[in-house]
Amino acid sequence: MQVITQAGTYTPPDADAPNDWIVHLTSDHLSLGTYSIPAGGQDDQSPHTEDEIYVVRTGRATLVTTSGTADVGPGSVIYVPAGEQHRFTEVSEDLALLVVFAPPYESRAAG
């Protein structure tokens, strides 16, 4: 067992960065991290080669994907399949996302 107390806690990005990414755990089958985007900030991620689940811990934004658009806030749980374009836009409050990748983040080669 492992208790990860800081998972999902908002962390402001460094002065020259648009967002912050912290990896908390990587196992053979999944990984867990926290993705933070400040209010008015930019989501600069590219599609991933792994399935992904986001849990919004704090903040509000709009998630735009190739399969749809949704307003998200605390408690929202979002599944994004591997390879799907997605981006958080209109970040109106500091956004902290608990992120689970399966298999682990960057464990599959880009196709």
Residues spanned by the domain of 102: 55-111
Query: Exposure string (b/e) for 1-19, b if CB count within 10 Å is 16 or more?
Result: eeeeeebbebbeeeeeeeb
The string of DSSP letters for the chain reads: ----TTTT---PPPTT-S-EEEEEEE-SS-EEEEEEE-TT--------SSEEEEEEEEEEEEEEETTEEEEE-TT-EEEE-TT--EEEEEEEEEEEEEEEEES-TT-S---
Per-residue pLDDT of the chain (111 residues; tens, 9 = 90+): 999 999 999 999 998 899 999 999 999 999 999 999 999 999 999 999 999 999 999 999 999 999 999 999 999 999 999 999 999 999 999 999 999 999 998 888 776
Is 28 within a domain?
no
Is 43 within a domain?
no
Structure confidence at residue 109 (pLDDT):
76
Is 3 within a domain?
no
Is 60 within a domain?
yes
Domain count along the chain: 1
Is 12 within a domain?
no
Tokens 């970040």 found at: 91
Is 14 within a domain?
no
